[in-house]
Amino acid sequence: MSTLVIDGHPDPQSLTAELARRYVAAHGDAELLAVRELAFDPNLLHGHRGVQELEPDIIEASRRIAAVDSIVIATPVWWGSVPALLKGFFDRVLLRRWAFEYRRGLPVGLLKGRSGRVIITSDSPRWYLFFVGDTTAKHVRGTTLRFCGLRPVRLSRFTSVRTSTPAKREQWLRRIEADARADAARGARSTSTPSDPGPLEAALEKLGRLEQPAR
């Protein structure tokens, strides 16, 4: 199963980035996309109205997403959400008419046929994340990847990072390698065919012709 691992941490020396790299190395058919290395405006300037020029890195990222069978997002928990850079990447790449659309008033994911995984790191302990609603997991796993049609979307969670020991972190790295190998094995048995959302440029052209309310 071909997999794209999207590293959403701004710091290449972070635990999140190392977990993403270890996943790629252990998987056997995965590639890494570090959002921090892309050149793009993370601001969706007009919301879902009008047209915003697509940078080459955004177009290339969309092509890589469309080409794979599985998508992995690696992110820390920051203020109950994700880093601004990763959120901006979602806003710019997962466009209406490409990653999702509305039919009879209901959202339909256009990236279906793909599976997913979310790798989450957090300084907070696990019990606290559940206490405050587990917002980052729900955001990325549910209202982003599942919203766009991915099924299933698995979760790898690493908490209390700030107080962790080097030995604990090494244990986590071995665990993500095991998750990668398990995902690769599941992918080898999968018979699902990913849908083709088409080029992102075509979706942008359609958006430019639509009358859409401001939101």
CATH number at residue 74: 3.40.50.360
Q: Residue type at 43?
A: N
The CA distance from 161 to 145, in Å, is 25
**Residue 214 counted as domain residue:** no
**Residue 200 counted as domain residue:** yes
Letter string b/e over residues 103-128, b meaning 16 or more CB atoms within 10 A of that residue's CB:
eeeeeebbbeebbbbbbbbbeeeeee
The CA distance from 99 to 107, in Å, is 10
**Residue 114 counted as domain residue:** yes
**Residue 91 counted as domain residue:** yes
Spatial CB neighbours of 209, under 8 Å, sequence gap ≥ 6:
none
Q: Which of 72-76, 103-107, 199-203 has the lowest mean pLDDT?
A: 199-203
Structural domain of 201: 3-209
pLDDT digits (tens, 9 = 90+) for 33-50: 999 999 999 999 988 777
Number of domains in the chain: 1
Cβ-contact 4, 70 below 8 angstroms: yes
**Residue 53 counted as domain residue:** yes
DSSP class of residue 140 equals I
**Residue 163 counted as domain residue:** yes
pLDDT digits (tens, 9 = 90+) for 143-196: 999 999 999 999 999 999 999 999 999 999 999 999 999 999 999 899 889 999
**Residue 191 counted as domain residue:** yes
The CA distance from 62 to 94, in Å, is 8
